Structure 1
Amino acid sequence: MRQILIIVGLVLLAAGIWIVAGNGSYQDTETIVKIGSTALKATHDKAIPQWLGIAGIVVGAILVLGGLAGWLKRR
């Protein structure tokens, strides 16, 4: 169980750092005009909000530290 906490924490830490560094984005597609069965769509790249990256770093660090503290306490 402790190993899973550490692994999930490390993944969240890495993802949070990736987002805060400005590399996280996703594509959003919206329909501009629709006439019958024909539609004109536009795709935009949007950045993932920085607060989400910071939250990932904080939660990831808590999980890693909690997993390591439990692992060290057990020894």
Structure 2
Amino acid sequence: MRAGLIIVGIILLVAGIWIVSGHASYQDTDTLLQVGSAKITATHDKGVPQWVGIAGIVVGGLFAVSGFISKR
């Protein structure tokens, strides 16, 4: 359990730092026009909100610290 907390904490820390630094994005597809079976779509790249990265850093830090200080 201790090693699992440390590993998950470090993964969340790294992912949070990646998001806060602005490197994380996802694609969103919108349908602009649809007539019958024909569609016109647009794909946009959007950044992941920074609060998600900050939350990942905080939770990852808590997990890692609790894994390091647990006695078992």
Structure 1 segments of 4+ aligned residues over 2 angstroms from their partners: none
Q: Report how many aligned residue pairs link the two structures.
A: 72
Superposition TM-score, scaled by structure 1 size: 0.93
Per the TM alignment, residue 45 of structure 1 is displaced from its structure 2 partner at its CA by 0.3
Name the % identity: 60
Q: Any unmatched runs of 5+ in structure 1?
A: none
For the residues of structure 1 that align with 2:10 and 2:46, how far apart are their CA atoms? Answer: 25
Superposition TM-score, scaled by structure 2 size: 0.97
Q: Name the counterpart of 1:10.
A: 10
Normalized per residue, which structure has more helix? Answer: 1
Q: Any unmatched runs of 5+ in structure 2?
A: none
Per the TM alignment, residue 9 of structure 1 is displaced from its structure 2 partner at its CA by 0.4
